[in-house]
Structure 1
Amino acid sequence: MPNIASILKSEISRVARKEVRAEIETLKKASVQHRSAIAALRRQVIALEKELRNVAKGTARSARASEPEEAGEGEPKRRFSAGRLAAHRTKLGISAASYGQLVGVSGQTIYHWEQGKARPRAAQLESLAAVRGMGRQEVAQRLESN
């Protein structure tokens, strides 16, 4: 005959394991939910940090953009395109050195601007805008007079 103490002990162990298993399952489910919530919060923090950086960049850009407007006193803001500069010079049929004479810079500077290796300053942009407004005959007259 089996010992009643050992049977009771094995039965208590079995019931205890069953109870522990049930408790662990609920804890596992809670843990999975918490982990997914933490992951979602991390993604949200990353998105907010990215948005904050973009806003900070935007305010820095707008601050830089507003400074020349204040100093320029209503002058229109000029944009520069290397391809358009090269196309305009080709349209006029003149060399980089001649175009540089019109703008007030060297031919090498014009070449660097066209290649995108350098960008003109604000005063030079105004000179470029003035040259863009000229026609082929006016450019020829201006070059002959220099």
Structure 2
Amino acid sequence: MPNIASILKTEISRVARKEVRAEIETLKKASVAHRASIAELRRQVNALEKELRRFAKATTRTVPATGPDHEAPASTKRRFSATRLVAHRAKLGLSAASYGQLVGVSGQTVYHWEQGKARPRAGQLENLAAVRDMGAREIAERLATQ
């Protein structure tokens, strides 16, 4: 009889291992699928966070701060063109340094704007617009007083 008991014991453990292996395989497949979906979700979250940072950075550049220390923004958004700046300065017959005095910047800054190496800030755009609105006589008077 001990022989039948040991054979029965080995057969039961073999069948049990087979059943456990089958269950483990389905769990492994489910685990792999879940890991893949988690990785895809992480990629999506990273992409969305990157896009959010890009939009936040863009809005902080374009939206001026408002509050007790800041005035309300101008009703029109100013645009800048390097070629128009060159043409306006040439039309007035001014050097970059003289034009810079009118705007409130150095001549080197004006040169960099004209070359496209830099762009004026919002306050500087307002000063450029103010200079564009001036006539030749008014500009000459302003340069003479500075």
Q: Which moved more, 1:104-113 or 1:5-14?
A: 104-113
Q: How does 1:43-82 map to 2 (within 5 A)?
A: 43-57=43-57, 59-61=59-61, 63-64=63-64, 71=71, 76-82=76-82
CA contact (8 A) 1:99 1:107 kept: yes
> Residue 120 of structure 2 aligns with which residue?
119
Q: Secondary structure at the match of 1:14?
A: helix
List per-residue Cα deviations over 1:116-144 (Å, max 9, x = no partner): 3573662x53453355468xxx7599659
Q: How does 1:4-23 map to 2 (within 5 A)?
A: 4-23=4-23
Specify which structure has the higher proportion of helix: 1
RMSD: 4.1
> Residue 34 of structure 1 aligns with which residue?
34
Amino acid at match of 1:114: E
For the residues of structure 2 that align with 1:51 and 1:17, how far apart are their CA atoms? Answer: 50
List per-residue Cα deviations over 1:53-100 (Å, max 9, x = no partner): 345445534542667xx8367553323344542354356665324544
With the length of structure 1 as denominator, give the TM-score of the two structures. 0.57
Structure 1 portions without partners, runs of 5+? none
Change (3 A) 1:96 1:6: same
Q: How many residues in Structure 1 have an aligned counterpart in Structure 2?
A: 138
CA contact (8 A) 1:102 1:143 kept: no
CA contact (8 A) 2:113 2:119 kept: yes
Amino acid at match of 1:113: W
For the residues of structure 1 that align with 2:80 and 2:122, how far apart are their CA atoms? Answer: 10
